[in-house]
Amino acid sequence: MPKVRTQVTSRVHTEVARQGILFNKDKGQHILKNPLIIQSMLEKAALRPTDVVLEIGPGTGNMTIKMLEKAKKVVACEIDSRMIAELQKRVQGSIYQSKLQIVYGDVLKSDLPFFDLCVANIPYQISSPLVFKLLSHRPFFRCAVLMFQREFAERLVAKPGDKLYCRLSINTQLLARIDMLMKVGKNNFRPPPKVESNVVRIEPRNPPPPLNYQEWDGLTRIAFVRKNKTLSAAFKQTTVVTMLEKNYKIHCSLNNKIVSDNFDIKQLIDHILEKADAKNKRARTMDIDDFISLLHAFNADGVHFI
């Protein structure tokens, strides 16, 4: 995997510093300043002249300008009015001004417009909710090329048995194909973050798997609370048993099915795990197909996770 460490200071960053504008680390403002990394990210995204590109956290616009050169339109989501002012000054009076749409506000609380691609050096503290917001967006986008904190990126691509394999790994991989593209050293940012970074490519699965994602998420949430424990142990937790019994009775009621007085949800759970040959399995070693089979086994016997 390529690793880029070249340090470059742009004219824009010099101007921003001269004006006394301080980058806000609480908002994840670590501006990507290395043009080689920007060029590589855009090459991996394979921009087309007809593309609408979504950028989250454009900062002073280093990557924005390069995308405006290649794409039909760039939609830049920015929460800091100072960065918006810098970005507007940078395109003012140029051929790019009409191609740039700025969305002011919190991207997690905003309705995303149509876009073909998402290319961004995102604020790391919103990584997880942003990934799932993007993957739930319709219509489907073609791909996203995003900068993440290295450990988060490694969790995204982790496989069963890996130390970092977790609920994030399997939930994301259910919905998308994910590839690690490059490592990026902290000195390629201004100010430098405390962590190393990686660039990841995310391609949504279109069509998505034919299952209820809320059901899936409920199952993996239980299994990965203690990923090293057996599923038999995970499903004996009092809160889990209580929740599944409540859901079972609700679904029975909705389907006009009578629940007997001696019904025992624990016995039913044990029966399902036994039938699925999953009692002694552990979440850390289970792949997507394993969880799909288990979800179908629970649902077939009327046990639901929502």
Write out the binding residues for S-adenosyl-L-methionine. 30, 32, 57, 78, 106, 121
Tokens 């197909």 identify what position? 289
Distance, in Å, from the CA atom of 26 to the CA atom of 191, rounded to the nearest integer, reads: 12
Write the burial class of residue 230 (CB in 10 Å: 0-12 exposed, 13-18 middle, 19+ buried).
middle
Distance, in Å, from the CA atom of 259 to the CA atom of 252, rounded to the nearest integer, reads: 7
Distance, in Å, from the CA atom of 137 to the CA atom of 143, rounded to the nearest integer, reads: 12
Residues facing residue 147 across a β-bridge: 121, 199
Binding residues, as ranges, are: 30, 32, 57, 78, 106, 121
Distance, in Å, from the CA atom of 83 to the CA atom of 129, rounded to the nearest integer, reads: 23
Distance, in Å, from the CA atom of 184 to the CA atom of 195, rounded to the nearest integer, reads: 10
Please name which of 151, 145, 155 lies closest in space to residue 181, comparing C-alpha atoms: 145
